């Protein structure tokens, strides 16, 4: 499960880097670069939401367990 989460985080960062690339590469009146940047950002948001839902599902099925700071130690 940890590998899947890390893979999703890498994909989110790659989509963010792709959007930054398209933002820096656009010309003065290049509408296609704007559309590609918007599409890449939409992919990033979709991946982030999917990752969040996957973490919630894994937690509810017992595949992962919270291991925060113990209370009262």
At 58-68, the pLDDT tens digits run 999 999 888 87
What's the predicted TM-score (pTM) here?
0.78
Reported as a pLDDT band with limits 50, 70 and 90, residue 69 is confident
CA distance 18 to 44: 10
pLDDT in tens, 4-59: 999 999 999 999 999 888 888 766 666 777 888 889 999 999 999 999 999 999 99
23 close to 37: Cβ distance less than 8 angstroms = yes
């Amino acid at each position: 499960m940890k590998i899947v989460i890390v893979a999703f985080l890498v994909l989110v960062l790659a989509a963010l880097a792709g959007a930054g690339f398209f933002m820096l590469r656009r010309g003065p009146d290049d509408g296609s670069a704007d559309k590609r940047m918007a599409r890449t950002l939409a992919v990033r948001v979709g991946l982030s939401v999917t990752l969040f839902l996957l973490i919630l599902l894994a937690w509810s099925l017992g595949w992962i367990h919270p291991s925060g700071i113990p209370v009262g130690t």
